[in-house]
Structure 1
Amino acid sequence: MPWIRRRARKAEQPDDRLPDLEFLALVKASLEAFAPGVTEGAELKGNSLLSPHGWAVAVAPPQHGGGRHYDLVALPDVSVQPDVPCFTDCVVAMSPDPREAADSWVQTAGACLLELLDQRKRFADQAGPEHERGVPGWHSIISGAVAFGLDTTENRRMQGALLDANVLHRIADTFTADLESPFFNGVRVFYGGQPGAMEMEIRINGERHETASAAMTALNLPEPTAFTAVRYYGLLLPLPAEGPVPSSPTTSLDTHHAHGAECCCGGELDPEHPGFELPLPHLVAELSEEERAKRVRVDTGAMMVADGVGNFLKVRLPIPLENGRTVVYLVWIYVKARVIEEIVARVHDDTLPGHRFEGLLCNAIGPWGEEVLRAPVVLEGQPIKKEGRVPYCEVVESAHPLLAKVLNDRWPAEFVLGKHDPERA
């Protein structure tokens, strides 16, 4: 028997429900904002978003809930036939804007899909069976928590409370016997409602698990003072007999970045378009590994949120050379939380190109070092050159005298690139 139950399609959808492809277009835009480049070449067909790299996301027939309820199926490797391994999740738009449902899925179940394919802990956490946050007997991929509610402070408090409760680890013995998939099992953790009427729910492979939900209720999580809903998602992978690490799908991600001396991929500088990628914001790099793991709750490779530290966005900083080339640094910029929210909204609305916003440079740059650290910058969204790919925003101005000079003057290649210049050979 296939490990995932097959259901009959309902004849009609609710009137206020978006058509499948329209909702998947929102999912695609949210994925692209979350991990720039990941949807390049992906197509919307039928009821699916299909990547040329072999993964897909589909909208399943609605099984419960109202018109703002969407059931999504993630398929990490569609080449496995005839029963394609998949995991399911459902999301609800808790406002009239269905983009919120798309964002909620991308930042939880979608993040687990990306991490399953990427395996570099850029999109979600991973924990082995012996880890203090792991599930005994299983390898875990766990997303961050996403909150929606009437009060921002309460949203953050409930996010922290749900993560601190370490739910899956503490109630593992109530549901692990029911994990049926030989590939991966999707587990959704939900905590939400009004004060005095909070609901706690665990769903295993799309189905409510009564015993686990009751066990979660018994954890006595704190209640909010206003309506709040928090969720996160986990993928539980069976351990192979020959080792502690499960095998990953043969599919992969294709996210773009600049090769350079700071790049972990080991690539060489492009002679015509040399570039450097700085892996972390200065403030995050100064943290110990333990503190970093505790504070960084979102890290997509293009966007980072660290509690008590700040919100950061990876952008392009171009430096013109005397010989006509341009050195591009991929750097981190500190921005306010509302700026991150606006950027994500503009990606959805296709209004990011040409939009300008402000931030602070959070990296030392080349030969100028820390003299430009914390310099104020003006950034601009760039035109979309390829369908489905949102390019990095670009630093275009600075009120900082030295950084303004860096951006506007032409510099000797030897001064900027030194021994890293491929043309020196």
Structure 2
Amino acid sequence: MMNDGRTGAMDERLPDEVVLGMIARRLSEAMDQPWHVTGDLAKGPGSLAVVLGEDHTGHPGHVDIDFVLNVDRPGNTTISDCATGYGTTPEETVERAIEIWLGTTGSALLELLAQDGSFAGHYAADDPDGFPGWHMIHGGITGWGIGDDFQAVQRWAADNPLAPHLAPALRSSFDRDHLIGVKAFFGSGGDSETAEIRVDGIHHEAASEVLAGLPWPRPAGGMSYARTFLLLVHNEGGDEGRERGRDETA
């Protein structure tokens, strides 16, 4: 299975405190509020924090990011995800991984805090393009590839909502009724094809098979991939779901 990104720098991994500093800087810019590194976490305003997850790949450009909405209650307020960047130096590679995370997963998380549509879009529990029964925030869609049609999968993802297709395979596997993170990464290049769904950072086989069976484009003679993130706020949906999601940060 292909990694979530492309790589060019194969040097040693950056120290965790350096990676946390890079994340803190980008979040400070995005939120226009200060983040700083203290100990083994990046601390944001109020109860927010970011912790680096366990390195499960050994790859210098792979970053596991645990976004904690309430640092005093991390058990049920942490949304985990990972991203892999590409570049010619370790710094460039990690910076790209953070950018990918911030443009997809991060945008949904920041919208959960902002609640004004400035970072991502909201879908009510009964929206036909949403996740049935859940209030959902749809993070950004990023894409990359090679060739004349390298944006084909990204465009398809923007025009074809994934949530209604994935819901039947996903809904019975959740272990809590709020703040579920669903990442989709899919595309093809040459003889390789990837379709992966991760729920709270863990590969979901059944939903990945559903994604693989959808008619997204497979450009010939090129490479096209897309990544996006769905944040399921609460299974009661609507305004009550929004309030419950906001309460989790308190």
Is the structural similarity TM-score above 0.5?
yes
Which of the numbers 60, 66, 86 marks the counterpart of 2:53?
A: 60
How many equivalent pairs are there? 234
Report percent identity of matched pairs: 25
Q: Give the Cα–Cα distance (whole angstroms) in 1 for the partners of residues 238 and 122 of structure 2.
A: 19
TM-score by length of 2: 0.84
User: Is 2:153 the counterpart of 1:158?
Assistant: yes
One-letter code aligned to 1:219: L
TM-score by length of 1: 0.51
The one-character-per-residue Cα deviations of 1:119-141 (angstroms, maximum 9, x if unpaired) are 11110111012112200011111
Q: Give the Cα–Cα distance (whole angstroms) in 1 for the partners of residues 129 and 71 of structure 2.
A: 30
Name structure 1 gaps, 5 residues minimum: 1-13, 253-425
The answer to whether the 8 Å contact 1:195/1:226 transfers is yes
SS of the equivalent of 2:246 reads coil
Give the structure 1 partner of residue 85 of structure 2: 93
Q: Give the Cα–Cα distance (whole angstroms) in 1 for the partners of residues 54 and 238 of structure 2.
A: 39
Residues 251 and 208 (structure 1), Cα distance of their counterparts in 2 relative to 1, 3 Å cut: closer
> CA RMSD for the aligned pairs?
2.4
One-letter code aligned to 2:42: L
The one-character-per-residue Cα deviations of 1:305-362 (angstroms, maximum 9, x if unpaired) are xxxxxxxxxxxxxxxxxxxxxxxxxxxxxxxxxxxxxxxxxxxxxxxxxxxxxxxxxx
SS of the equivalent of 2:137 reads strand
Residues 32 and 75 (structure 1), Cα distance of their counterparts in 2 relative to 1, 3 Å cut: same
Give the structure 2 partner of residue 297 of structure 1: none
Which of the numbers 69, 74, 78 marks the counterpart of 2:67?
A: 74
1:110-129 matches, cutoff 5 A: 110-129=106-125
Which of the numbers 98, 103, 113 marks the counterpart of 2:99?
A: 103
Name structure 2 gaps, 5 residues minimum: 1-9
Residues 80 and 163 (structure 1), Cα distance of their counterparts in 2 relative to 1, 3 Å cut: same
The structure with the larger Rg is: 1
One-letter code aligned to 2:235: L
User: Is 2:197 the counterpart of 1:202?
Assistant: yes
Q: Give the Cα–Cα distance (whole angstroms) in 2 for the partners of residues 66 and 245 of structure 1.
A: 37
Give the structure 2 partner of residue 249 of structure 1: 246
Q: Give the Cα–Cα distance (whole angstroms) in 2 for the partners of residues 72 and 121 of structure 1.
A: 23
One-letter code aligned to 2:138: I
Q: Give the Cα–Cα distance (whole angstroms) in 2 for the partners of residues 197 and 61 of structure 1.
A: 28
Give the structure 1 partner of residue 135 of structure 2: 139
SS of the equivalent of 1:245 reads helix
One-letter code aligned to 1:130: D
Q: 1:55 Cα shift?
A: 0.8
User: Is 2:144 the counterpart of 1:148?
Assistant: yes
1:170-181 matches, cutoff 5 A: 170-181=165-176
One-letter code aligned to 1:85: T
The one-character-per-residue Cα deviations of 1:258-296 (angstroms, maximum 9, x if unpaired) are xxxxxxxxxxxxxxxxxxxxxxxxxxxxxxxxxxxxxxx
Q: Give the Cα–Cα distance (whole angstroms) in 1 for the partners of residues 224 and 13 of structure 2.
A: 23
Which of the numbers 46, 51, 69 marks the counterpart of 2:39?
A: 46
Q: Give the Cα–Cα distance (whole angstroms) in 2 for the partners of residues 57 and 154 of structure 1.
A: 36
User: Is 2:181 the counterpart of 1:189?
Assistant: no
The answer to whether the 8 Å contact 2:151/2:224 transfers is no
Q: Give the Cα–Cα distance (whole angstroms) in 1 for the partners of residues 213 and 58 of structure 2.
A: 26
